[in-house]
């Protein structure tokens, strides 16, 4: 079922969204100071590429207290808008019965898009 869900996700816009996140990640990585943010954007792009079967969990690595100010900077410079976009599309998909699983994936991405530092994703392919 995960494979069918991921293929339908790709077909109806997930692949384009992942490509958008990946190109944004490359643009952010062009600056030296933006590399940590580019890694987080790449993480969201991976989740956007394979949302069905993926889990967002707190990171096992000790990142210390640096993730809090980085998440604040992330929210100020675009994370809030990405989160709101995923919530908007999730609400639109909740209107139809067939869109409920896809809405759940958008809400999962909204959580990651709001504060990606200190979180890991596990892809169950």
* Per-residue confidence in pLDDT tens, the chain, 125 aa: 789 999 999 998 889 999 999 999 999 999 989 999 999 999 999 999 999 999 998 888 776 788 889 999 999 998 999 999 999 999 999 999 899 999 999 999 999 999 999 898 998 87
Q: Which pLDDT does position 66 carry in this prediction?
A: 86
Q: Which pLDDT does position 65 carry in this prediction?
A: 80
Domain count, the chain: 1
Range of the domain at 63: 2-122
Q: Which residues contact 36 (CB under 8 A, 6 or more apart)?
A: 70, 117
94 burial type by CB count under 10 A (0-12 exposed, 13-18 middle, 19+ buried) = middle
Q: Which pLDDT does position 26 carry in this prediction?
A: 95
Q: Which pLDDT does position 124 carry in this prediction?
A: 83
Q: Which pLDDT does position 91 carry in this prediction?
A: 95
Q: Which pLDDT does position 20 carry in this prediction?
A: 92
pTM metric for this prediction: 0.87
Q: Angle 80-94/100-114 helices, nearest 10 degrees?
A: 170
């Amino acid at each position: 079922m995960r494979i069918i869900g991921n293929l339908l996700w790709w077909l109806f816009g997930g692949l384009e969204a992942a490509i958008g996140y990946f190109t944004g990640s490359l643009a952010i990585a062009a600056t030296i100071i933006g590399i940590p943010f580019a890694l987080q954007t790449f993480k969201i792009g991976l989740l956007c590429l394979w949302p069905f079967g993926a889990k967002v969990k707190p990171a096992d690595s000790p990142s210390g207290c640096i993730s809090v100010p980085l998440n604040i900077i992330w929210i100020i410079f675009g994370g809030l808008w990405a989160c709101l976009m995923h919530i908007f599309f999730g609400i639109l998909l909740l209107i139809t019965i067939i869109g409920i699983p896809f809405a759940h994936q958008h809400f999962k991405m909204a959580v990651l898009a709001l504060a990606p530092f200190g979180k890991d994703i596990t892809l169950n392919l």
